[in-house]
Chain A
Amino acid sequence: MTVMIGRRRSTAAALATIGAFALLVGACGKAEETGGTGTDNAAAAQQTASAGPGGGTCTLQQYGGQKIDLKTAKVGFSQSEKEANPFRTAETKSIQDEAAKLGITNLTVTNADSKFNKQIADVEQMIDQGVQLLVVAPLNSDGWDPVFKKAAAKKIPIITIDRKINAKHCTDFLTFIGSDFYEQGKRAARSMAKALDNKGTVAILLGAPGNNVTTQRTAGFKDEIAKIAPNIKIDFEQTGNFSREEGQKVAEQLLQSKPGISGVYAENDEMALGAVTALKGAGRKAGDVKIVSIDGTRGAVQGIVDGWIYGVVESNPRFGPLAFQTATKFFAGETVNENIIISDREYDQATAKDGLAVAY
C-alpha cells in the first residue's frame, strides 16, 4: 500500500519537473550566426516583381479609414513564430529597422511563438491598445474572424506579409506582400531537374500544414516536375513543420526506408539543414543526395558552398521597407494592389559564394 502511494508521489514530482522544464525549454536558442540581416544593404532589399495576377485594388476611401501620419501613428506588428530561424529573425528586424528609420516611435511587436490562439489574442490586444496600422505575419491562413470583426469596427488597415490570410480584400485586409510561392516551387523543380539530369527519385520535406506557403510550394514543384522532368518520381512526402529538428528526424527516417533516394526538396532552408545533418549522421558524402530548398538563409547558402546543398531559391524576408512604403501610399490616398509580389533571387554553385553577402 505504501509502495503505491510512494509511486504516485514520485510520479507527481516527476510531472512537476517535466512541466517546469517544458516551460523553460522553449527559451533555449541556437548558437548560430545569422550574419548581416542587411537592411542597409541596398542589394538585399526586396524588389517588387508584379502587382500579382487577378488581384483587386484598394484605396483609403474604399477602405473607409482615416488619413494618419505614420510617424506619429501607433503601429503594431504581430510575428507568428519565435525568432529562432533566420527568416523570422530577419523579418522582425527589417520591420523594426525600417520603423526606426522612418521615425515611427510607437511600434508594438508581439510574437505568437507558433501558438495560433496567442496570435489572435496578441492582435486583438494591439487593436484594443489603439494601433492605427497592423502588419501581420500570419501563422495560419484561416481563423481570423475575431480580428477582422474588431479591426473592421475601427477601420484599421491590415497588411499581411509572407503568408496570406483567406479573407475579403479591402474589407478584412488591405494587401498581401510576399513571394510567389508557386513560382518558388517551380524554380526549385527546375533546379532539381538540372541536378538529377531529369531522372531519379525525390523526397519532399513539406512545410507546416494549413497555410498557403506549403500548399503552393508543393503544387509548384510537383506541376513543374511533371512538366519538365516526367522521369523524376516523387517517392516520399512528409511534413517537417519548417523546423530543423523535425526536418532532420524525417530525413533520418527517409534514409532508413529509402536509402537509394536521389534528391530531397525541402520547402525551407531549416529543414534542408536538418536533412544535411541526417545525411552526415548516416555517413553519406556531400553531394550524394541532391538537396534543393527555399529561403536563402546564410546557413543554406554556405551549404551550397560546402557542397551539401545543390540550390536554394530565395524567399526574401525583408518586408520592412515595402510594408511601410505601401502604408505610406495608402494613407496618402493612392491605390494599393491586393497582392504585392516580390522578386526572389536564386543561389547555385556559381553564385553562392557572392550570394553570402546578401543572404540572411
Chain B
Amino acid sequence: MKLSVEGVQKHGALAVLALVTLVGLLAFPGFRTVDNAGTLLVNAAPLGLIALGMTFVILTGGIDLSVGSVFVLGGVVAAWASQYGFVAALVVPLLVGAAVGLVNGVLVARTNMAPFIVTLATLLGARGLMRAVSTEGSTTYLVESQPFKTLGNGDLLGVKWPVWIAAVLFVAGSVVLNRTGFGQAVYAVGGNTDAARLMGVPVAATQIRVYALSGLLAGFAGALNAARLGSGVTVLGIGTELDAIAAVVIGGTLLTGGAGALSGTIAGVLLLGVIQNLINQVGDVPTAYQQVVSGAFLAVVVVAQTSLTRLRSVAPV
C-alpha cells in the first residue's frame, strides 16, 4: 500500500518533468541544444547536492533551514582555504558544514527542540560566521588552486565535474537509503518516531547523522560552487533552503517524513531548473510575473500530487 503511494508520487514528479521538458523541446529551439542542457545541469548541481541531504532530513520528519547559510559559508571558506592547496579547499568546507550539521543534529536529537527552530538558529549563526570571516561580506576570497578550479569548471566526456559528482552521490544516496540499516532507520524514524524507538531503532543517532549529512553536503555544494565561480562570493544562498525544500516536496517526499525517494528529488531539482530556463527562453517576462509563474507552477504540481496520492489510497490495491 505504502509502496504504491510512493510510486505514484515518485512518478508524478517525473511525469511532470517529462511533460514540461517535452513542451520546452517542441516550443523553443534555444532549449533543445546540448549547450543549454549542459548549462541547466551544471547550474542545478549545487541545489541537487543540498536537496539530497534535505531529503534524508525530511524523511526523518525533520527540516533543515540552515543549508543556504552553510552553502555560502562553505564557498567562502573553500575559497579562503584554496591558498593552502586543493585538499584544504575541499576538506575545510566539508568539516565546517558537517560541524554545523552536527550541532543541528545533536540539538534536535538530545534537547527535543523543534528542528525548525534549531536550524533557524544555525541559519543565522552560519551566515554570521560567513560575515565574520569575510569582513561583513566585503572581502571576496579568490580561488588560488588551479586543480580546485578545474573541479568546478572542468569536464569529463563533455559533462562538467559538478554534474558527475552530484550524479554519483545521488546513486550512492539511493543505495544507502534502500539497502542499509541506516536507510531503514531514516524511514522508520520519519514514519513513527515512537514506534521506531520501541522497535529498537537508534532514533537519536539517526537524527544526528542525517543533519550532519545535510550540513556536509551543503558545505560541499558551496565548495563546488566556489570552485566553479573562481571565488568565495558572499551574496549567495538566501532562500536556497526553500528551493531545496521545494525540490524535495515536489519530488513527492512527505514533509511529515517516512515516505519518499531520491529519484523524486532529482526530478524536483531538475523541474525547478527547467522552469527557470523556460522562463528565460520566453524572455522579457517581468520579474514579478516570473515569480508568480514559478509559484503557481509549484502549487499546481504539489496539489496534483496530493490528489493523485489520495486517489490511489482510496482505490483498492
Contact = CB atoms under 8 A, between A and B. Distances in A.
A29 B286 CA distance: 11
A163 to B, nearest CB: 11
A209 B239 contact: no
A17 B40 CA distance: 28
B233 A125 contact: no
Q: Label chain B's interface by main secondary structure.
A: helix
Contacts of B15: none
Nearest to B35: A128
A24 interface: yes
Interface stretch (B4-12, B88-96, B165-173, B222-230): B222-230
Interface residues of B, number: 63
Contact of B255 (A16, A113, A130): A16
B251 to A, nearest CB: 14
Interface in A87-131: 107-111, 113-118, 120-122, 124-130
A27 B149 contact: no
Contacts of A49: none
Contacts of B152: 145-146
A330 B310 CA distance: 62
A140 B295 CA distance: 26
B147 interface: no
Contacts of B137: 208-210, 239
Nearest to B286: A83
A129 B278 CA distance: 12
Contacts of B225: 117
Interface in B21-43: 30, 33, 35-36, 38-40, 42-43
B39 A124 contact: yes
B138 A146 contact: no
A124 B44 CA distance: 13
Interface in A166-213: 208-210
A107 B284 CA distance: 8
Interface string B162-195: 0000000000000000000000000000001110
Contact of A23 (B116, B228, B281, B295): B295
Interface stretch (B103-111, B202-210, B211-219, B242-250): B242-250
B140 A141 contact: yes
Contacts of A84: 287
A139 B229 CA distance: 13
B314 interface: no
Contacts of A29: 288
Given A121-B43, A140-B233, A208-B235, A12 B256 contact: yes
A184 B153 CA distance: 38
B193 A4 contact: yes
Nearest to A206: B136
Which of B231, B246, B254 has the most C-beta atoms of chain A within 10 angstroms of its own C-beta? B231
Interface in A73-89: 82-84
Contacts of A145: 149, 152-153, 228-231
A184 B43 CA distance: 36
A337 interface: no
Interface in B239-274: 239, 242, 245-246, 249, 254-257
Contact of B287 (A83, A124, A130): A83
8 contacts: A5-B192, A12-B256, A16-B249, A16-B255, A19-B242, A83-B286, A84-B287, A210-B137
